[in-house]
Amino acid sequence: MRFWRRLMFIFKFHRSIPFFKDFFISNEITIGKKLVSILLIVGYIIFPFDAIPDFLLFFGVLDDVMVATLILQQIVKMAPSFFKGKI
């Protein structure tokens, strides 16, 4: 079930862009949470963790997608509840 929700999150990501914009420019979110979010995103881009190598086509890319959605879901969890209604 969790796998399916993460996969659907990727296909609906364009709907989340206003949320992420508001998250990073909001004064209600602490700078620490913003920095942790940015560090997670940048850290994964610089040091991608590959449980399955990318040359295994579908499965190699799928683990990257799952880790990226996990990071994005953690950002959503750090947001105050009134932000979550925008997703």
Residues 6+ positions from 50 with CB-CB distance below 8 Å:
60, 63, 64
pLDDT of 18: 85
pLDDT of 84: 57
Residue 41 in tokens: 């995103």
Rg of the chain's alpha carbons, rounded to an integer?
Answer: 14
The pLDDT of 31-36, averaged and rounded, is: 90
Amino acid at 83: F
What is the pTM for the complete model shown?
Answer: 0.64
- pLDDT of 1 > 70? The answer is no
pLDDT confidence bin for 87, thresholds 50/70/90? low
Amino acid at 82: F
